[in-house]
Amino acid sequence: MDCWLRKITPLVFIAALQCATPAPAAAAADGAPAAAPAPDKLGFVWVRVPGGEFTMGANDGDGDERPAHPVRVKDFTLSRTEVTQAQWRAVTGEAHPSAKNCDTCPVSNVSWDEAQAFLAKAGGLLGEKLRLPTEAEWEYAAGGGAKHQKWAGTDVDQQVRDYVWSNTNSSRAAHPACEKQPNLFGLCDMSGNVWEWVADFYDRDYYETSPAADPTGPETGENRVLRGGCWSSHVGIARVTQRYNSWGGAQTPYYGFRPAK
Ligand SMILES: [Ca+2]
């Protein structure tokens, strides 16, 4: 980062970034236009996701995506983007752990545990409780609610590259948030760019017994769930039903996160 940028306060810097990159208008899942939400003082643009019912999982997917089953979620709110490097620095006061400097790119090399610490601190700065989305909330939001699209923003193979940073178009690196088309809720990079930690423990058989209303995952487990694939993944891994998991202390160039509230 240039030295002059280190001399201004993180929050002022975030505000400057937001002024330079105004948020595009979001679209509601039913196709109706929605007003562009304004960023908060940490630069988060919050997207209200209306609750509803959808079919979670995929019977033609991997073993842990089965069985497809009906799930209801309540209204919730998600950040339009993955947490960026600039937001990480603004909240923690520390250098971002990503390999490449790129203020508007998602922060990576962040563990599930570090994401929790970030959310607690960011929530304190904003005066509200922030959290990771549940696995069900993430899939519902990514697929555009009941439409449950194959990728976040499209069902059409030939359109995927317009919505998803994967190993076919990323040049082996994460990219600035929202360079690709948003999904039906106006959320960016739900499929691709970096994997996103969600709140739940991972259990490959969880769908066989999970509750129909607001599932929160197994009570205990060894690993946490990640969703959405990343810049180094095959585009098939970026499907909204694809499940992945890792030890909560893992830090890799592929893992990031996005806050919910
Ligand atoms: Ca992502």
Give a yes or no: residue 17 inside a domain: yes
DSSP character string of 119-174: HHHHHHHHTS--BPPPHHHHHHHHTTGGG--SBTTBS-GGGGGGT-B-TTTSSSS-
pTM of the model: 0.89
Mean pLDDT of all residues in 69-77: 98
Tokens, residue 27: 């679209």
The H-or-E segment that residue 244 falls in is strand 243-247
**Which residues are within 8 A (CB) of 204 and not within 5 positions of it... i.e. 6 or more apart?**
63, 64, 243
CA of 13 from ligand 1 middle (Å) equals 24
Residue 59, amino acid: N
Predicted confidence (pLDDT) at residue 27 exceeds the cutoff of 90: no
Q: What percent of the residues of the chain are helix, what percent strand, and what percent coil, each to the nearest 5?
A: 25, 20, 55
Phi, psi of 176 (to 5 degrees): -55, 145
Give a yes or no: residue 2 inside a domain: no
Give a yes or no: residue 200 inside a domain: yes
Give a yes or no: residue 148 inside a domain: yes
Mean pLDDT of all residues in 57-80: 98
| Predicted local confidence at residue 236, as pLDDT | 96
The domain in which residue 200 lies consists of 10-257
Give a yes or no: residue 88 inside a domain: yes
Predicted confidence (pLDDT) at residue 89 exceeds the cutoff of 90: yes
- CATH number of the domain encompassing residue 65: 3.90.1580.10
| Predicted local confidence at residue 29, as pLDDT | 54
Give a yes or no: residue 150 inside a domain: yes
- The count of structural domains within the chain is 1
Give the SS3 label for residue 168.
coil
Predicted confidence (pLDDT) at residue 23 exceeds the cutoff of 70: no
CA of 78 from ligand 1 middle (Å) equals 13
CA of 165 from ligand 1 middle (Å) equals 9
CA of 4 from ligand 1 middle (Å) equals 30
**Tens-digit pLDDT profile for residues 168-187:** 999 999 999 999 999 999 99
CA of 223 from ligand 1 middle (Å) equals 19
For the ranges 23-32, 33-42, 196-205, the one whose mean pLDDT is highest: 196-205
CA of 48 from ligand 1 middle (Å) equals 18
| Predicted local confidence at residue 16, as pLDDT | 38
